[in-house]
Every structure is written in C-alpha cells, then in structure tokens.
Amino acid sequence: MNLISLLKKYNVAGPRYTSYPTVPEWTEQVKSSDYQRALASLQAEEKLSLYFHIPFCERLCHFCGCMRVITEDHRRTEAYIRALLAEMRTVQQNLAVKKPRVCQIHFGGGTPNFLKPEELEQIFEEIKKIFCIEVDAEIAIEMHPRTSTVEFCQMLKKLGFNRISLGVQDFDPRVQQLIHRNQTYEQTREMIDVLRDLGFHSFNFDLIYGLPGQSLKTWRETLAKVIELSPDRLAVYSYAHVPWKSPVQRSFKDQDLPPPELKIQLFEEAYQMFLSQGYRSIGMDHFAKEGDELSQALDRGTIHRNFMGYTTRAEAHQLGFGVSSISYVGGHYFQNEKDLKSYEQQATLGELTTFRGYLLNQEDSIRRDLITQIMCRAELDFEKFSKKWKISFKTYFSQELNSLSELIEDALLIVDQDRLYATTSGKLFLRNIAMIFDPYYQKQKLDRPTFSQTV
C-alpha cells in the first residue's frame, strides 16, 4: 500500500497526545489544594520548566483554537501582569524549595509580543527573584512578525532569550485572507533579519497544512520561502477543524477546505521537501537540523512532548502561569481558570487558580510513559519498561499487542521478542499506534466528536 493510501486509511479522529490522559478526561474535582500538595512535594534536585500564557491578540486568526483575548487596547495587559506576578509569588509560597532551578522558560499565547518591552522585563525580573535560571536554560517566545517591533526584539536580547518561535502557517495571500491573518513573507524576513543582526540564531517556524484555500502549487511556494529563511526547527501541524469547539471556524465554507486527498498530499510534499533539505523528522510533525538541540535530544533519548509540542527537557516539571495555562507537577495535571476576569481576581488575591486537572493513578502513569515513548522515540523496549514499572509488559498489554496486527500488516510497526518500533512510514502514524494503548480513547471514539483528524 502506498503512502497516500495509508494516510487516507488511518486518517481518523484521535488525540495529539500532548497529555495523557487527554483533556476530555480531566475533572473539576481537582482543586487548588491538590496543586498545593504537588508544589510542596518538589525536591531541590528537581528542575522546572516555566510556561507563561499571554492571551492577547490584536486580530483573531480564524483557524485558531487557543485561549485568546482579541483587543487593540494594550492597557488590558496592566491588570494581567499584576495577576501574573501575584501568581508567581503564590506559587513561591507553596514551594518547599527556595529558588528552584529552571531549565526552560516559554512565553506562548495569544501573541506574547502584545506586551510592551518594559512589561516583559517586569515579568522577567520577578522570575529571576523567585527562580534560579540555569546558564544553559532554553528561553523561548512565540512571536507574530506583523506586530513585532525592533524595541521588543532588543529587549529579548537584553533579557537573555535564545529561541524564537514564529507562526508562519502559510505565505499565500489568499490563504491568509481566508484565515484572517495578514503576514507577508517580506514582514517575516525583515523581522528575522533584525533578530539575526541582534545575535539570535535559533528559530522555529509553525506551518499548518489543510488550511482553506491551500493548493499544491501555492504550498510548494510557501515551502520554498521557508527553506530560504532557514529555520533550525519546523513544526508542520495538521489543521484541526473543530468548529464545535471553535465556532469561528464556521467562517470557512466546505469548498474552501482542501479535500482529504489534497490535504494528505500537502503533508507529503512538506515531509519530502524538508528531508531533502537536510532536516530530520522528529516525532510525527516536527523537523530539525542535525545540529539543533531537538535533534540531539532525539539521539540522547531526552526528547519530550507536552502542550508546546516536542521539547528538549523531559525531566522537568512544568509550571504554567496565566489564564488557562497547564502545569504538570508531581505526576499530575493542573489547569488554571479559563475565564480571564476570574483568573485575574483570584490570582491578585493571592489564590492558586486551579479549576480542573487530573490526578494520575498507577495505571495512568504506566500508560502515560508508554504513550510518551511511542510519540517521542517511536519505539519501546519491553524488558526496560517491565523493569521500570515492575510488570510483565507482554502480560499487562496482551490485549493491546493483539490489536496491533493491522498496523504490522501495513508495515507501519514491527513487534519482535524484545521491542516494538515504528518503521520509517510508521513514524507518520504515531498517534494511531498510541491510540491502541489508550483505553479512554477507545471509549471516547464511540461518543460525539472530540478530536481532530490524525492527518
């Protein structure tokens, strides 16, 4: 069976596995008191990854399903920053460790460069008071080229940021018009030139295939322009059409969206293009140059997957700050209040703003580790896994192993005496492999739509 046929066959609704159990399983029975206990359990030798959610955007991109606040009033950030600073201090009060070590910081959104340069500096100064930032820490930020300024870029350099993530999606003007995102190739190139002149050299781009208006011809043109700009990493995401969760996506007409076969061809075009230009395939939808840290983490076995996609700090607990942000601490998930006003009020009063989460039991933790290994390394060693969790892998997962036959027959997966591993083609179907080991998914797929398509 050729690749196009396989992609069509396995293109079903399924999780992206940025968490396990996935968000539909989370519950509001998890409270701030649970998060407090998790924070208090952290030990001095354990490292942290900090995530800051900046929800504000000047314009609404119609493909977006993130938590965002659309406004051109930049005064909206004043109350939000007060809440962020207060939340950091509240977290500090609940930590048993004084100035815990931080190996990664990420500002996401929304549009983090909606902040004024001095506001970003204010947040960063508070971070340095509370946490000990390691010398080799990755300090990254997502940016929108259309709304970024030279002054903001200069502040990033001053504060020690070392990785820039740019949302590109697609450079074609018609696609941009349909998705309500005006960002020319020239604007993107000019911003990268400014950043490179300041000494930045680590960039990653986000692209999306399956957007309305995309054609093979215009997509190839976008890919060629991306190669010309030479980012170190690329994330090539499948457009998640979930209008039942994101009503703004109803602005697209059915005829605007690429038919399934074309969408699959768009991904294959990107996949082949990037491999031919010296990028390595990382997981199911990321690419990196040989010398990039993500590529090195793949070789070392330290690559990780969370709500930011594939990352390089597998060992770190994640503390999320800001409205709707997610923490993974002590083996459990905690999500902040999703309503902006409620978040600001609670945080400013010195309260943790947890409104839901998931406390993993032993079986959840075992399956989370298994799914993470599949998603990140595309393989699993039975003996090592059994020893780690004190189980007999083949007995514990006997039912799931019997359910892998079709993936094996289609040459996407190999299972021998010692391990299972995805073939080169199978690495494009890691979500489908992982789904076999997810009992929650097996129940969910019988219900109403929850997830986007896997391709």
- Residue by residue, DSSP assigns 407-442 as HHHTTSEEE-SSEEEE-TTGGGGHHHHHHHT-HHHH
Q: How many CB atoms lie within 10 A of CB 294?
A: 22
pLDDT the model gives residue 236: 93
Confidence of residue 364 (pLDDT cuts 50, 70, 90): very high
What is the number of alpha carbons within 13 Å of residue 323 lying toward its C-beta? 23
454 band by pLDDT with thresholds 50, 70 and 90: low
Give pLDDT, residue 102: 97
pLDDT at 455: 66
Q: What is the pTM of this model?
A: 0.93
pLDDT at 19: 93
Alpha carbon distance 234, 285 (integer Å): 8
| Residue 446 confidence (pLDDT) above 70 | no
State the pLDDT confidence band at 256, using cuts at 50, 70 and 90: confident
Question: Of the ranges 5-14, 29-38, 213-222, which one carries the lowest mean pLDDT score?
Answer: 5-14
C-beta separation of 232 from 204 below 8 A: yes
- Read off the pLDDT of each residue in 415-427 and give the average, rounded to a whole number: 92
- The answer to whether 289 and 243 are in contact (CB under 8 A) is no
pLDDT at 248 over 80: no
* Closest to 336 (Cα-Cα) out of 123, 71, 327, 217: 327
Percentage of residues in the chain having pLDDT higher than 70: 97
Q: Could you give the C-alpha distances from 334 to 304, 317, 370, 417, in angstroms and in order?
A: 18, 12, 21, 38
pLDDT class for 452, splitting at 50, 70, 90?
low
Q: Specify the long-range contacts of residues 213-217, CB closer than 8 Å, at least 24 apart.
A: 213/172, 213/174, 213/175, 213/177, 213/178, 213/179, 213/256, 214/170, 214/172, 214/175, 214/258, 214/262, 214/266, 215/258, 215/262, 216/262, 216/265, 216/266, 216/269
The pLDDT tens digits for 261-306 are 898 889 889 999 999 999 999 988 899 998 899 999 888 888 888 8
Distance (Å, rounded) from C-alpha 332 to C-alpha 317? Answer: 10
* Statement: residue 186 has pLDDT above 90: yes
What 8-state DSSP symbol labels residue 27?
A: B
User: What are 191-199's contacts with CB under 8 Å, separation 24+?
Assistant: 191/143, 191/145, 191/148, 191/153, 191/166, 192/145, 192/166, 192/229, 194/150, 194/153, 195/153, 195/156, 195/164, 198/153, 198/154, 198/156, 198/157, 199/157
What kind of fold does domain 362-444 have according to CATH? Arc Repressor Mutant, subunit A (1.10.10)
Q: Which ranges constitute the DSSP H helices of 301-397?
A: 340-348, 362-377, 382-389, 393-396
Residue 449 pLDDT greater than 60, yes or no: no
Residue 231 has pLDDT above 60, yes or no: yes
Spatial neighbors of 344 by CB under 8 A, at least 6 apart, are: 79, 80, 82, 83, 323
The set of residues, in sequence order, having a beta carbon less than 8 Å from that of 389 and lying 6+ positions away, is 366, 369
Write the CB contacts of 202 (distance below 8 Å, at least 6 apart in sequence): 162, 163, 164, 232, 292, 293
Would you state the pLDDT for residue 198? 97
27-57 pLDDT per residue, tens: 999 999 999 999 999 999 999 999 999 999 9
| Predicted pLDDT at 195 | 97
pLDDT digits (tens, 9 = 90+) for 132-171: 999 999 999 999 988 899 999 999 999 999 999 999 999 9
Superfamily designation of domain 22-359 = tm_1862 like domain (3.80.30.20)
What are the boundaries of each domain within the chain? 22-359, 362-444
Instruction: Report pLDDT for 13.
Output: 79
CB 57 within 8 A of CB 111: yes
Query: Residue 377: which of 436, 320, 302 has the closest Cα?
Result: 302
Give the pLDDT score at 62: 78
Q: How far is CA 114 from CA 77, 117, 118, in A?
A: 8, 9, 12
Whether 343 and 336 have beta carbons less than 8 Å apart is answered as yes
Mean pLDDT of the chain: 92
Amino acid at position 25, single letter: E
pLDDT of residue 447: 54
Residue 64 pLDDT class (50, 70, 90 cuts): confident
Is residue 329 scored above 60 in pLDDT? Answer: yes
